[in-house]
Amino acid sequence: MSPFPSDRLALGVDLGGTRLRAAAMTQTGEIVASAEMPTAAQGGPERILGDIVGLVKTVTDGISADAIVGLCVCAPGPLDARNGIALHIPTLPGFDDFPVAAVLGAKLPFPVSLENDGIAAAVAEWRYGAGRGVDNLVYMTVSTGIGGGVIADGRVLYGRMGMAGHIGHMSIRPDGNICPCGNAGCFEAYGSGTAFTARGRKAAAGRRESSLSGIADILHARDIFTAAKDGDGLARDLVAEEAEILGQGVRSLLHLYSPDLVVIGGGLSNAFDQLEGGIRAYISARALLPFREIPIRRAELGDLSGVVGTAALAFAHAHPEG
Interface residues toward Zn ion, by CB under 5 A: 169, 179, 181, 183, 186
Rank residues 181 and 215 by Cβ distance to Zn ion and give the closer one: 181
Rounded to a whole number of angstroms, the minimum distance from the CB of residue 121 to Zn ion is 19
Query: Residues 305, 64: contact at Cβ < 8 Å?
Result: no
Query: Residues 85, 98: contact at Cβ < 8 Å?
Result: yes
Phi-psi region of 84 (alpha: psi -120 to 50; beta: other; left: phi over 0): left
> Is 152 exposed, middle or buried (CB count within 10 Å of its CB: 0-12, 13-18, 19+)?
middle
DSSP string, 66-99: GGEEEEEEEESS-EEGGGTEE---TTSTT-SSB-
Rank residues 178 and 205 by Cβ distance to Zn ion and give the closer one: 178
β-strand partners of 85: 80
Q: How far apart are CA 25 and CA 23, in angstroms?
A: 6
Rank residues 13 and 179 by Cβ distance to Zn ion and give the closer one: 179
Rank residues 76 and 131 by Cβ distance to Zn ion and give the closer one: 76
3-state secondary structure of 308: helix
Amino acid identity, residue 302? G
Query: Residues 16, 39: contact at Cβ < 8 Å?
Result: yes
Rank residues 32 and 178 by Cβ distance to Zn ion and give the closer one: 178
115 phi and psi angles, rounded to 5 deg: -145, 150
Rank residues 69 and 146 by Cβ distance to Zn ion and give the closer one: 146
Q: How far apart are CA 28 and CA 317, in angstroms?
A: 16
Kindly list the strands in the beta sheet with 9-15, ordered across the sheet, starting from the edge strand earlier in the chain. Answer: 31-38, 19-25, 9-15, 68-75, 112-116
Q: How far apart are CA 171 and CA 160, in angstroms?
A: 20
Rank residues 169 and 317 by Cβ distance to Zn ion and give the closer one: 169
Rounded to a whole number of angstroms, the minimum distance from the CB of residue 75 to Zn ion is 18
Rounded to a whole number of angstroms, the minimum distance from the CB of residue 195 to Zn ion is 11
Rounded to a whole number of angstroms, the minimum distance from the CB of residue 146 to Zn ion is 9
Rank residues 58 and 194 by Cβ distance to Zn ion and give the closer one: 194
Rounded to a whole number of angstroms, the minimum distance from the CB of residue 78 to Zn ion is 11
Rounded to a whole number of angstroms, the minimum distance from the CB of residue 181 to Zn ion is 3
Rounded to a whole number of angstroms, the minimum distance from the CB of residue 224 to Zn ion is 23
Rounded to a whole number of angstroms, the minimum distance from the CB of residue 28 to Zn ion is 38
